[in-house]
Structure 1
Amino acid sequence: MPDLDGFLASAYVDPAVFALRPDYRVVLVAVDGIEPGRGVDLADDLRARAEASAADALADVPVTDVPHVAAWRDAYRAFGAKPQRTRNSLESLMRRAATGLPRVNPLTDVYNAISVLHRVPLGGEDLARYEGAPRLVRATGAEPFDTAVDGETVVEHPEPGEVVWADEAGVTCRRWNWRQGRRTALTGATTAAVFILDALAPMTDDALHAAADDLTAQLRMLGPEVTASRRLIAAD
């Protein structure tokens, strides 16, 4: 059984990231005891709720005017990314909700739905595939990032100064919350995972913790022995 508290205690956000956005906060939720194969009905229900929520939110305004989407577009510009070309994960999901959120696996589908319902970028990674603890840094440009192009596995590198999540083996998610790598991706066999909830103003701490509460409650339904640990990291 992994030491969830110890894993989270070693997580790190570089001061250079807070210098870029002092209002940034992240909640990390580590979970163990997930039973593979469970949660199909749960994921279907949450996905339907999230699609309806997105449709309601976008009935009268474009997705770029959703407050937390707009905040992340500004953050991307601050480190040189073009948000119209590389959209934050929340914006991408909100845009897809109109035609149906993706079906990946129950664990991924659950956290995608929570992301849309609470309007927060949210990523999930297989904890067993981590090399060390997660850290959020500004890249040197030398770090490896494993991804796929036209169905083929390739290794890319982030731009120097790009904000990335990484571990000791390389980048796990590029451009803060844009694209996750393949190495630590959740699968149908995942039993332990870490979830990353990224917040900027105007999202409040209460709203951020409410999203983490909801996520944890849903994950506890994926096995009778599910255990969870949480950590907030902020500039102060």
Structure 2
Amino acid sequence: MHFRHADDIWAEHPTLVAGVARAGGITPDGDVDAALGPLHAVARARLAGAAESDLPEIQAWRRTFTRLGLKPTRYRCAAESLLRRFRREGTLPRIHPLIDLGNALSLAYAIPVAVFDLDRVAGFLEVRHADGGERYLTFGGEVEHPRPGEVIFADAEGRAHARRWTNRQSGHSAVRDGTREVLVVAEALHGSAARDVPALLTALVEGLQRAWPGAVRTAVLSAGAPRFPPD
């Protein structure tokens, strides 16, 4: 199994920085509580000083969505949606310890973090433009077909595991109690992304190894090294 962005994605979005981690041995009883508090505190401090839409990380995604033909106040990157909810409610619901960790990292860094159950991904996962024939399963169980040209996460069987790039993941490969091996992807486009994405990966690895001790493989991808693991 490998992960990559298509060449035209790198060409069209030259400021993109993507961090990837692969981890196994995931169970639904991992303890991530020690990581969540500090990460939530960082998010609260950032939101006390600015609205989520004013954060440079979110502004970069809004500009990108606009260029992709998406109205950024209708379709938000996942990090902005989480920050909006966190600002309104002061917390997020607990779902699964790995999702809770990913959400907390996304809040603290204002960077979208996607987590995929690799047992539910066929062959590979590629960020590319849709041809319109792919299938996307909503969390409500409905099947959608991304519009041609939409940026999606696609596997070898033509299943879309995320729509509108970082807007929404699919229910098909969402983490659940039976999840054991995952791929985590963090993507950013803002000016300090080359520093922030590796920092997020470091915090992710620390949280993973505390909750589920074991080996974690990571990489920061670029146009010159777009594949994980490398060829």
Structure-2-length-normalised TM-score: 0.89
The answer to which of 44-53 and 117-126 deviates more is 44-53
Same amino acid, percent of matched pairs:
30
Counterpart mapping for 1:66-77 below 5 A? 66-77=55-66
Q: CA deviation at 1:59?
A: 1.8
| Match in the other structure for 1:135 | 126
Counterpart mapping for 1:1-236 below 5 A? 7=1, 10-39=2-31, 42=32, 44-98=33-87, 99=89, 100-148=91-139, 152-169=140-157, 170-224=159-213, 226-236=214-224
The answer to which of 200-209 and 158-167 deviates more is 200-209
Regions of 4+ moved over 4 Å? none
Q: What code does the residue aligned with 1:12 have?
A: R
Rounded to whole Å, the distance in 1 between the matches of 2:47 and 2:166 is: 22
Task: Count residues in correspondence.
Answer: 221
Rounded to whole Å, the distance in 2 between the matches of 1:19 and 1:184 is: 28
Residues 178-212 of structure 1: CA deviation (Å, up to 9, x unaligned): 11101111012211100001011213322211100
Rounded to whole Å, the distance in 2 between the matches of 1:97 and 1:48 is: 13
**Are the counterparts in 1 of residues 17 and 193 from structure 2 also a CA contact under 8 Å?**
no
| Match in the other structure for 1:4 | none
Rounded to whole Å, the distance in 2 between the matches of 1:176 and 1:95 is: 19
Residues 84-123 of structure 1: CA deviation (Å, up to 9, x unaligned): 0111011011111121123211110011101112221111
**Are the counterparts in 2 of residues 20 and 78 from structure 1 also a CA contact under 8 Å?**
no
The answer to which of 71-80 and 199-208 deviates more is 199-208
SS in 2 for 1:58: helix
Q: CA deviation at 1:60?
A: 3.3
Structure-1-length-normalised TM-score: 0.88
Mark the runs of 5 or more structure 2 residues left unpaired by the alignment. 225-231
Rounded to whole Å, the distance in 2 between the matches of 1:118 and 1:227 is: 24
